[in-house]
Amino acid sequence: MHSLTNGKIAIGVEAHGAELRSLRDAGSGMEYMWSGDPEFWGEVSPILFPIVGSFRGGQTVYQGAVYSMSQHGFARDREFAAEKKGMDGICFTLESDEDTRSVYPFDFRLQIGYYLKERTVRVEWTVENTGQEKMYFSIGGHPGFLCPPEGRGSKTDCRLRFDCQDQLVCRNISPDALAENSFTEHVLDQGELAITDTLFYPDALVMENGQVHQISLIDGEQKPYVTVNTDAPVVGIWSPQGSEGPVVCIEPWYGRCDRVDFEGTFDQREWGQSLEAGAVFRASYTITI
């Protein structure tokens, strides 16, 4: 585990998957990240690359070749090289190799950076096309936060607060984790939405078209304790359905799962990104406690 602190907050990041495993108040030691208890969900904050979500049928086609990949891609299962960036930052790098090319036909350099300032950690994503042809990809975050925060009631005591006041229009997700051609509207109460036992049935809340850019978790005392800021065009919010696991994930995405009726090729996936040879994609989001 690679540790970093600025005296106000402290983080721990594993080189395996470049995964943020811990975010604590440096003074009190209070933990804000989910524990990764496999009884409910065995991860904490996986990096989603080079796809977000699932392929329809578990596979895709590109230039006549068929490729298979599990949900959310392979980055979370790979070992990254770590490099400190000054006193308050650390960067993790993954490069394409024979194993990645067997399931994903592009050369790339992926860098995940974590930078601390005051009570905020900024998560930076950099994708470089190191190949000779145009590449296609998606990237996203999946940070899971304790909900409720340590020792403060139950998950259903908590609420979500958004930087919009009226409603959310969420794309419905099928039981097999594909995007349906229908939507559900969630009416907000002064920008807030209660977390109920059925809110995440059958899957995540998926908000497209840049509907929200700031999402906070509110505890049972109506105090925000985690806030995520993002410019991502798609945001997912998820908790394991049918469990009492005290975790809610707030997920910025530059990509999305296939539709239930999608018949296109890899380069035609909705919300997918592309890079010309030698070009670089950069994006970031922040977590504030």
In tens, the pLDDT along 153-207 reads: 889 999 999 998 799 999 999 999 999 999 999 999 999 999 998 999 888 999 9
Neighbouring CB atoms inside 10 A of 188's CB total 16
Phi and psi at residue 229, to the nearest 5°: -115, 135
Q: What is the per-residue pLDDT across 54-86, written as a single tens digit (0 to 9) for each?
A: 999 999 999 999 999 999 999 999 999 999 888
The pTM score is 0.95
* Mean pLDDT, range 90-111, rounded to an integer: 97
Q: How confident is the model at residue 242 (pLDDT cuts 50, 70, 90)?
A: low
Residue range of the domain that includes 70: 2-288
Continuous H helices in the chain: 98-101
Work out the mean pLDDT of the chain and round it to a whole number.
96
* Mean pLDDT, range 253-282, rounded to an integer: 98
Q: Percent of the chain beyond pLDDT 90?
A: 91
Report d(CA 112, CA 22) in Å as an integer: 16
* Mean pLDDT, range 135-152, rounded to an integer: 94
Q: How confident is the model at residue 152 (pLDDT cuts 50, 70, 90)?
A: confident
* Closest residue by Cα to residue 128 from 61, 49, 64, 54: 49
CATH for 97: 2.70.98.10
Whether the link from the prior residue into 50 is cis, omega within 30° of 0, is yes
Report the pLDDT value the prediction gives residue 243, as an integer from 0 to 100: 65
Is 171 in contact with 210 (CB distance < 8 Å)? no
Report d(CA 56, CA 72) in Å as an integer: 13
Q: Based on C-alpha coordinates, what's the Rg of the chain? A: 18
When divided into structural domains, the chain yields a total of: 1
